[in-house]
Amino acid sequence: MSEKTAQAKLDSLWHRGCQFLGSRTAILGGAMSWVSDRNLVSAISNAGGFGVIACGAMTPELLAAEIAGTQAMTSKPFGVNLITMHPELEALINVCVEAKVTHVVLAGGVPSAGSVSNLRKVGIKTICFAPALALAKRMIKNGADALVIEGTEAGGHIGPVATGVLAQEILPHITEVPIFVAGGISRGEAIVSYLEMGASGCQLGTRFVCAKESIAHPNFKDSFIKANSRDAVPTVQIDPKFPVIPVRALVNEGTKRFSEAQREAAVRVERGEVELKDAQLEIEHFWAGALRRAVIDGDVENGSLMAGQSVGMVKTEQPTQDIIDELVNQAVQCLGNRRSK
């Protein structure tokens, strides 16, 4: 198959995803706190992908400034990732509405039907995470316009099921909305495999950490470049009575301190000094602070080095445009070689 024909095949495979996102490729940038800011998000969108701002623990005022800053750097579509447990979620949604954001990703829990409805009423396309088939169906019933299914190979907060298993469980049974696959993806060949299974596109996070436009500290990027896939491991839940979402990261002193923080929080809940929900929110603030120390300050010993298992394939710092082009070229070559054989 000629390169032109292979490119046409790729365009056909992710046409639905591109139409939904309004981008040249159906490659989403995973929202990474402190990393996915206006610089990286605009670079991804300008390169033909779809950047997503990581709101994280931002206040409404900070989010409004970040959206405005991103809009000043790109005329292409981009999205905003909102954490459902954020205490000012409704105010953050209003910020997105006022800024005329086109897409919002609701993450960090099961969003309410009301949150999804409020976004859809004003024409904002809503993307939700679905870690199981039953939840995928529930999200669609609640009005989600698209889904992300993310496997345990991903960096940061993760679920228990591998990407390949989730894809087999969900893709054959959900056709109502576009689905984007995430977790452990770093090459174009993998993107093709999920597109051919029925996905509309893929989401990549770890692959973009070492983009030149990423503001991540040189120490943080260096840790990624030196790491092997096996170095990115999930945290362990210390107390079954104090459930916390596991986090995949490169092991360092910060990982050990999380275990200590988890023990202390569990004890406080047991003593009745704090409500379970509040203690869990404290853990999220712990991660936000630890991640900032590593990403912004460059403290790679005591900060959090959240990374997916695909970190082993991140070998150098590259312009975002080169990363997108490389992924597309790998996908095209994969399709071309397969047909030729």
> Could you give the domains of the chain?
3-215+315-333 (3.20.20.70), 218-309 (no CATH)
CA dihedral 165, 168, 173, 178 (to 10 degrees): 90
Instruction: Give the pLDDT score at 339.
Output: 55
Residue whose C-alpha is closest to residue 311's, from 218, 202, 231: 231
Q: How far is residue 336 from each of residues 1, 18, 199, 324, measured CA to CA in Å?
A: 5, 21, 20, 18
Strand partners, 103: 79, 125
Instruction: Give the pLDDT score at 318.
Output: 98
Residue 326 tokens, joined: 């490389």
Do 75 and 67 form a contact (C-beta atoms < 8 A)? no
Pairing between β-strand 201-204 and β-strand 27-29 as defined by DSSP bridges? parallel
Instruction: Give the pLDDT score at 265.
Output: 87
* pLDDT tens, residue by residue, 257-302: 888 888 888 888 888 998 988 888 788 888 888 999 999 999 999 9
Tokens 């002193």 locate to: 253
Tokens 């051919």 locate to: 196
Instruction: Give the pLDDT score at 263.
Output: 86
Pairing between β-strand 156-157 and β-strand 146-150 as defined by DSSP bridges? unpaired
Instruction: Give the pLDDT score at 98.
Output: 96
SS (HEC) of the chain: CCHHHHHHHHHHHCHHHHHHHCCCCCEEECCCCCCCCHHHHHHHHHCCCECEEECCCCCHHHHHHHHHHHHHHCCCCCEEEEECCCCCHHHHHHHHHHCCCCEEEEECCCCCHHHHHHHHHCCCEEEEECCCHHHHHHHHHCCCCEEEEECCCCCEECCCCCHHHHHHHHCCCCCCCCEEEECCCCCHHHHHHHHHHCCCEEEECHHHHCECCCCCCHHHHHHHHHCCHHHEEECCCCCCCCCCCCEEEECCHHHHHHHHHHHHHHHHHHCCCCCHHHHHHHHHHHHHHHHHHHHCCCCCCCCCEECCHHHHHCCCCECHHHHHHHHHHHHHHHHHHHHHC
Tokens 């910020």 locate to: 95
Instruction: Give the pLDDT score at 288.
Output: 84
Q: How many CA atoms lie within 13 A of 263 on its CB side?
A: 6
Tokens 């005591």 locate to: 302
Do 78 and 51 form a contact (C-beta atoms < 8 A)? yes
Instruction: Give the pLDDT score at 109.
Output: 83
How many Cβ atoms are within 10 Å of 277's Cβ, its own excluded?
10
Dihedral class, residue 34 (left if φ above 0, else alpha if ψ from -120 to 50, else beta): left
* pLDDT tens, residue by residue, 190-222: 999 999 999 999 999 999 999 999 999 999 999
Instruction: Give the pLDDT score at 340.
Output: 52
Walk along the chain (341 residues) and give the pLDDT tens digit of each residue: 888 999 999 999 999 999 999 999 999 999 999 999 999 999 999 999 999 999 998 999 999 999 999 999 999 999 999 999 888 999 999 999 999 999 999 998 889 888 898 899 999 999 999 999 999 999 999 999 999 999 999 999 999 999 999 999 999 999 999 999 999 999 999 999 999 999 999 999 999 999 999 999 999 999 999 999 999 999 988 888 788 888 999 999 988 888 888 888 888 888 899 898 888 878 888 888 899 999 999 999 999 999 999 999 999 999 999 999 999 999 999 999 975 55
